[in-house]
Structure 1
């Protein structure tokens, strides 16, 4: 039953009566009312407690409540809470001057909302807000209960009728259909030209343990109701404690300190001070408590004297006079006058509520605006009604147009719409939905990382023919340095480093098992293919990993886009029936294309790119140049030249010059150019391998990114669900995709009603702020 309180926000301000725990299930008697039948409800007004500014601010909250926004916005309110029989209802009566029915043993069974409203005419209206856990039929019956009365004499009778409608048992009732407590909310609205704008909440008192007529479930439900109300951040708690019971034993103090540890929004109320012997230790302890010396609340404490049994027939004025006399003649007068009596409490509460509301207004306004925008967006996603095939097709056409345009912009890299400007991730993380929406940028980045991974880590062996090289032209013919694992690439080891000796040994082993009829010093042309296949064996892992990653990115993007452009019921059906099957086809086509490329790699390399022959020629020239340079260096000697006048120093000098013995240089070069035939063949093979690997690597990367990724996964992604696709749908297909369930229709009506209320609240805020 508590779900009512969990779903409707805390702002259903509620009140009722409390009773002694010895008789928790009772029927309220009808004692003589302190007002006569011809007394108007506004006679006991507290209008004078509020100035014009306070009325304007409080009136705004009242109007927002009337818009029906209590369940959606946490509105400021005052909640009277305490243990059972602590005197909560008497406190409420003293503050509001509303004579509620009273009798011994009367116990608050439901949450009650007491609303004082400023109006041109006087009236008193009682209604019930049913617990949402009740069956719909019962809810309708309870909501139909509305009673308007002209004076307070009729209040006990109407409250009895309300209890009967809510199914609350009277004393001695054992009917299975009745209950001791309920989560229904009783609303009492008292209007009049001199009434203030004030709403207070009275909730059932906390029960220590189950008794006759009160079950363990009832105890738990009352505790949940109390927790729900006092946890609301904009609620001022009037924590009522009874002076005739040690306050350390009263559970309400523990609860309010749990939810408001600093005491920022809690005002302690001490009742029944006349129940303590004058000068007793108990009286001193409670006076210390009222001085804020034990349990500290920033709002402080206040002391009220309720009617005693002998004073049960006192009028409101007589009650106030008896209270004032008591505080003048007892030790309680040691407290500040501002902390004693109901008159100062009324002023104190009005000021507290006014200041509390003023502090909360900016945030409350922001919450209202956020709620309004959120519900407008949600209603926009629901779209128009979809109860016929024609309506379904019209809806799908409009929705597909938005889907198509956003998807096309994402694929083309035109991020100009508002869809691409929300929650931009500065780190460009693939886990961010804003990153996914920039699909072209993500694909470009992944393609670049794929190329980098293949180039730096795609080869099996890292062949180091020389330790270092200062020649930039020579660096062009070096295998790229391995960079370790890439977060976007496959899991695996980095290329194995081979020095010149190891690489020649590797080539020699492959040369031996591929030898044909070629002469010594030559090699089988098929050797280049065998070496290439082994050296490029890691390409498949990189390409497959890249394909799966890009496919996943596109899938996640479309899933998010669909979620943002249509309601959940359409999203589920459209994804399952149209988009996901199409994505699977595209993925299968991409895998098939990639397999064809990989199969081609297993054939002997075919190349017509002049880079291959140019690379081999340049590599040979570069190697010959190194040999020639060494031969000339070895044939060079230093000699002293003739005298030369140095203009800088002004003296004659004999500089050293390098003389090259041409015959020796030629001899050195000739001898160095006659290497071991096996090593010569291996170097020739490595030159050919390097050249063909580099050519085919560029070709493979280009083929994967264009023929696999672009052709089968990215290109035409926006056409998966476009207006053209919708136009080709049969009526039955359109209904299967977009026919609106009954729940969606109800949700649309709910959103439209809520938006209307929020817009009214927005206008109220604008007029006041």
Structure 2
């Protein structure tokens, strides 16, 4: 797995471990045990526990990442810090990210597993997650690493095998636990590759760069930027990358490896010493120098490696540097201190992000509603949801606007485009009914006939001033019958001619001077022909209001997938049935208007009588006026004298009209009377028998607990069963919430 491909680091055959192969090595434990104080252990342990919750993918957790160019000696740095003897070989390089976790535990163990890349298919992820192996001896490490590479699908030099790859985004996790282990996590990532070569494609080069970027750009990562002293650091890409993501060097510690490469006293050595002194590329965390095993030191144990390193720094020009930045012992101490201080600074923000992510996931989980994986769960869910639906719908239909649903985002303009307006369904229906009555009363008649009123306070519809219409509350006329708003203006003389034509067309066997009894019906049918369009527009408008209200209510009370199924399978078919019944009832009312009119309302006879008396009074008034003279008596007073004989004669002559004109006037009187009666009856019938009976009444019972109770198991599943992607998302959210709650509890207990 790990290890640099440089010759100075390759000392043994693939899979061969260094001499200290047993997991229980007291020297390794002793060297790590004193790295952390009690306070450091307590803080770092908290991060370890949060990491164990599996929150790395959701929160940027503090960690140390070893990064650098290929063959820079990264894996040797990692081995020196962790004391884990990784297998090394000339042709061996890091092909995936490796997470080495040192854990303080009561017993010793070494567990290796593979964390799959989230971009892999779910089936592959499950298969990779099954790879978990525990070993008791480092001698088994090469075998387990080879098995891990096979699980990842990484080739071992066979570039011609299309089913394998050179690098992977999966992560090899090595957890070393023991009573004397510090709480420390380091991540080794593949070295940056300068160019593609045999067995390494351009895609591989890009993948390694992406892996590096993924780790070093995380704001809570301390970057150990490893540069090799055998290569001009200006040519090493890692320095450019860390400066891009950490321009001020706040979280980057530079590490110089292979300091024995440049000749003693050479310009190259001086340049790297200046670099280590933070004189060229400045990092706030500074620089550190490590000496890896040379080829001659390939058989050295870890302890012998440390001794040789210390001797090298005592006897070379590198001793001009501060001892605090030389050697692996000071590096381990330095890293633990850096990580501890780094974590202390980040804890408040980390805690805040954890709480924010927890709230977000809880809210998202709440939106999914209760679990709906079985028929029983589906029916229980539908029953609960239907109670809320039924309760709100009942209140909306009855006009009892109590509760938050009716008090949210109330539109002061009461616009039909506002959901809050539609929620007040009864108020909307009442307003629409009032508007329908006004439309029929003011514009429902075909002809606007100018006739003298029966008396001064008469409210006859034919002679009302239409200027009041604009003062009434009215919604846009887009759903009203187009071109039917303005009745045709007609004078009294024109009206008489119209009636005369109809009389002529409807002659029967009646005597001259009389008219066919069906004449009034014919006049009424023509005068009321606009009622049909107004009534159908009104039914359409009310149906649309109910339709949109129920859609909004579904959207607000259940998930989108359930709302769509409930709408398509239950509510929309029921609404269509209601519409069909309403239009059928309306057609029946309209057809009855075309039949023989039956009327038992005294208003009809009273109106005709009043209109006859009005005409006679007008003639009598005119006759008396013509027979009236005004004189001055001898006292100078004005005296009015009515010649009754002349008045009677004038009245008699005036009441001998043309019989056809008389019939026309009588017919108009009958039309006015019956139209007013039938207009009120029609409006009442449409609003009660059509709107109320078929559209409004029982609207709340479309989806109620009674309906849910009658559903069969298959029907309940068809309506509410969660889609597979929703079930997966629910499981994911529940897992995330559990992890975040564990992290929250850890924070609470430690802080």
- TM-score (norm. length: structure 1): 0.66
SS in 2 for 1:108: coil
Preserved contact between residue 354 and residue 744 of structure 2 (Cα < 8 Å): no
Q: Does 1:349 align with 2:319?
A: no
1:434-473 equivalence runs, <5 A: 438=423, 441-445=424-428, 447-449=430-432, 451-452=434-435, 455=438, 459=443
- How far residue 445 of structure 1 moved from its aligned partner, in angstroms, is 2.4
SS in 1 for 2:351: helix
Separation (CA, whole Å) in 1 of partners of 2:307 and 2:605: 113
1:236-315 equivalence runs, <5 A: 236=221, 238=223, 240=225, 242=227, 244=231, 250=237, 253=240, 257=244, 267-272=251-256, 277=268, 290-291=281-282, 300=284, 302-307=286-291, 310=294, 315=305
- How far residue 189 of structure 1 moved from its aligned partner, in angstroms, is 1.4
Paired position in structure 2 for 1:533: 528
Q: Does 1:405 align with 2:405?
A: no
Equivalent residue in structure 2 for 1:552, among 547, 551, 559: 547
SS in 1 for 2:59: coil
Alignment CA distance shift 1:563-1:32 (3 Å): same
Between Structure 1 and Structure 2, whose CA radius of gyration is higher? 2
Separation (CA, whole Å) in 1 of partners of 2:78 and 2:666: 102
SS in 2 for 1:405: helix
Q: Does 1:543 align with 2:526?
A: no
Alignment CA distance shift 1:484-1:432 (3 Å): closer
Alignment CA distance shift 1:610-1:368 (3 Å): farther
Preserved contact between residue 372 and residue 378 of structure 2 (Cα < 8 Å): no
Alignment CA distance shift 1:146-1:536 (3 Å): same
Spell out, residue by residue over 1:166-220, the C-alpha distance to the aligned partner (whole angstroms, 9 max, x if none). 3422235644553312233211112234444343444334445433212344345
Separation (CA, whole Å) in 2 of partners of 1:763 and 1:563: 32
Separation (CA, whole Å) in 2 of partners of 1:699 and 1:20: 102
Alignment CA distance shift 1:764-1:481 (3 Å): same
- How far residue 404 of structure 1 moved from its aligned partner, in angstroms, is 3.4
Preserved contact between residue 453 and residue 542 of structure 1 (Cα < 8 Å): no
Equivalent residue in structure 2 for 1:183, among 166, 169, 180: 169
SS in 2 for 1:128: strand
- How far residue 539 of structure 1 moved from its aligned partner, in angstroms, is 0.9
Separation (CA, whole Å) in 2 of partners of 1:507 and 1:81: 101
Spell out, residue by residue over 1:673-707, the C-alpha distance to the aligned partner (whole angstroms, 9 max, x if none). x9x99999999999999998887676656545543
Paired position in structure 2 for 1:596: 588
Preserved contact between residue 168 and residue 182 of structure 1 (Cα < 8 Å): yes
Alignment CA distance shift 1:285-1:195 (3 Å): closer
1:470-619 equivalence runs, <5 A: 477-479=464-466, 480-482=468-470, 486=475, 489-490=478-479, 511=499, 513-516=501-504, 525=520, 529=524, 532-533=527-528, 536=531, 538-540=533-535, 542-553=537-548, 555-557=550-552, 559-560=554-555, 563-564=558-559, 578-600=570-592
- How far residue 250 of structure 1 moved from its aligned partner, in angstroms, is 3.2
Separation (CA, whole Å) in 2 of partners of 1:679 and 1:81: 112
For the aligned residue pairs, the C-alpha RMSD in angstroms reads: 6.2
Alignment CA distance shift 1:508-1:373 (3 Å): same
Separation (CA, whole Å) in 2 of partners of 1:206 and 1:682: 105
Equivalent residue in structure 1 for 2:94, among 85, 92, 108: 108
1:187-206 equivalence runs, <5 A: 187-206=173-192
Equivalent residue in structure 2 for 1:171, among 152, 157, 179: 157
Preserved contact between residue 28 and residue 102 of structure 1 (Cα < 8 Å): yes
Paired position in structure 2 for 1:711: 693
Equivalent residue in structure 2 for 1:78, among 63, 67, 83: 63
Paired position in structure 2 for 1:6: none
1:202-221 equivalence runs, <5 A: 202-221=188-207
Separation (CA, whole Å) in 2 of partners of 1:660 and 1:168: 130
Preserved contact between residue 239 and residue 253 of structure 1 (Cα < 8 Å): no
Paired position in structure 2 for 1:656: none
Paired position in structure 2 for 1:667: none
Alignment CA distance shift 1:525-1:589 (3 Å): closer
Alignment CA distance shift 1:175-1:451 (3 Å): same
SS in 2 for 1:113: strand
Q: Does 1:329 align with 2:317?
A: no
- How far residue 93 of structure 1 moved from its aligned partner, in angstroms, is 5.1
Separation (CA, whole Å) in 2 of partners of 1:435 and 1:599: 35
Preserved contact between residue 456 and residue 481 of structure 1 (Cα < 8 Å): no
- How far residue 409 of structure 1 moved from its aligned partner, in angstroms, is 0.6
Preserved contact between residue 454 and residue 539 of structure 1 (Cα < 8 Å): no
Preserved contact between residue 29 and residue 180 of structure 2 (Cα < 8 Å): yes
Preserved contact between residue 521 and residue 597 of structure 2 (Cα < 8 Å): no
Preserved contact between residue 394 and residue 700 of structure 2 (Cα < 8 Å): no
Separation (CA, whole Å) in 2 of partners of 1:418 and 1:127: 58
SS in 2 for 1:179: coil
Spell out, residue by residue over 1:600-635, the C-alpha distance to the aligned partner (whole angstroms, 9 max, x if none). 56668877778889999999999999xx9xxxxxxx
Alignment CA distance shift 1:146-1:193 (3 Å): same
Structure 2: runs of 5 or more not aligned:
622-636, 643-649
Preserved contact between residue 489 and residue 546 of structure 1 (Cα < 8 Å): no
Spell out, residue by residue over 1:621-664, the C-alpha distance to the aligned partner (whole angstroms, 9 max, x if none). 99999xx9xxxxxxxxxxxxxxxxxxxxxxxxxxxxxx999999
Separation (CA, whole Å) in 2 of partners of 1:606 and 1:105: 107
- How far residue 375 of structure 1 moved from its aligned partner, in angstroms, is 3.8
Separation (CA, whole Å) in 1 of partners of 2:164 and 2:346: 40
Preserved contact between residue 270 and residue 290 of structure 1 (Cα < 8 Å): no
Q: Does 1:366 align with 2:350?
A: no
SS in 1 for 2:341: helix
Alignment CA distance shift 1:280-1:129 (3 Å): closer
Preserved contact between residue 83 and residue 251 of structure 1 (Cα < 8 Å): yes
Paired position in structure 1 for 2:135: 148
- How far residue 364 of structure 1 moved from its aligned partner, in angstroms, is 0.9
- How far residue 449 of structure 1 moved from its aligned partner, in angstroms, is 4.4
Preserved contact between residue 465 and residue 499 of structure 1 (Cα < 8 Å): no
- How far residue 345 of structure 1 moved from its aligned partner, in angstroms, is 4.8
- How far residue 380 of structure 1 moved from its aligned partner, in angstroms, is 1.9
Separation (CA, whole Å) in 2 of partners of 1:710 and 1:686: 34
Alignment CA distance shift 1:619-1:134 (3 Å): same
- How far residue 432 of structure 1 moved from its aligned partner, in angstroms, is 8.0
SS in 2 for 1:380: coil
Alignment CA distance shift 1:699-1:112 (3 Å): farther
Alignment CA distance shift 1:246-1:144 (3 Å): closer
Preserved contact between residue 2 and residue 87 of structure 2 (Cα < 8 Å): no
Separation (CA, whole Å) in 1 of partners of 2:30 and 2:609: 112
Preserved contact between residue 118 and residue 196 of structure 1 (Cα < 8 Å): yes
Spell out, residue by residue over 1:721-765, the C-alpha distance to the aligned partner (whole angstroms, 9 max, x if none). 555445556677677777899999888877776665555445434
Spell out, residue by residue over 1:82-110, the C-alpha distance to the aligned partner (whole angstroms, 9 max, x if none). 56426554565566565544455543212
1:87-98 equivalence runs, <5 A: 88-89=74-75, 92=78
Preserved contact between residue 47 and residue 195 of structure 1 (Cα < 8 Å): no
Separation (CA, whole Å) in 2 of partners of 1:161 and 1:121: 26
- How far residue 30 of structure 1 moved from its aligned partner, in angstroms, is 3.9
